[in-house]
Amino acid sequence: MDQENMNEIKLTYIIITIVMIFFIGFIIFVVLMYNRKQLLYIKEKQLKEAEHQNQLLQKELEKQKSIEKERERISHDMHDDLGAGISALKLQAEFLKQKAQDENLKTDIDEMLKTSEEMNLSMREMLWSLNSGNDMLGSFIDYAIVYAENFLKKTKIKLLTVSEDIISETPISTDLRRNMFLCLKEALNNAYKHSRSENVKLSFSQKGKEFLMKISDNGTGISTEKSEGNGLRNMKKRMHEQNGECNILSSENGTEVIFKVSV
């Protein structure tokens, strides 16, 4: 009798063990299936999000192409129509100057020629600004150097240019390029009008994503008694709008204007 009870107990234990193993196996199976289903759901969701992002990216690219195409159209129209008009005006003024006898009239015509030349330079700057092919750091630096050379060539101020560790192909936005150029113009104009300097140094440097442009002179410096003018405020405002910095260091040995932005 005892042996039969022992056998029944063993059998019962074996059956319970088998049932528990089966039950545990079933739970593991269910968990694995659930995890697999969740993984498939997550992958499907990620795929849909990626497709949505690709669609948004495609739309943005199409928008950018449309903007670039419109910029090119405006650039060509300005060059063909406005440029031709300015050139014709300049030729007519030069022709009138040759025929004029009155000195006052010649002076007025010279002013007209000067104005037409200024308009021509402004148009070239706008065309450069509109051209998306110039949205690179190297292009900006090349244009900035040419502008500085042309601006100072009729003065007694000597220009020195330095470029360090510049990656020319670094892309920059049209807005950043335009604001940096306007800051350069203002800084050079201030150096010419107020510094009484003999030398101006224009330097560019790049460290990773940080780009620095410096305009240094060996003039009299900025008087601490004078309030900050519109030009200095505008430069700081432009840099602030580009998430950059404009710092001005001045002493009796000269002034250094430093523009720092991320590219």
Stretch 219-241: mean pLDDT: 78
C-alpha to C-alpha distance for 224 and 192, rounded to whole angstroms: 19
Tens of pLDDT along 133-160?
A: 788 999 999 999 999 998 898 888 999 9
Half-sphere exposure of 263 (CA within 13 A, CB side): 27
Residue 86 has pLDDT above 70, yes or no: no
C-alpha to C-alpha distance for 129 and 108, rounded to whole angstroms: 32
The one-letter amino acid at 217? D
Angle, vertex CA 219, rays to CA 217 and CA 223, nearest 5: 115
Tens of pLDDT along 59-80?
A: 777 776 776 676 667 666 665 6
Whether the CB-CB separation of 154 and 118 falls below 8 Å is answered with no
C-alpha to C-alpha distance for 220 and 138, rounded to whole angstroms: 32
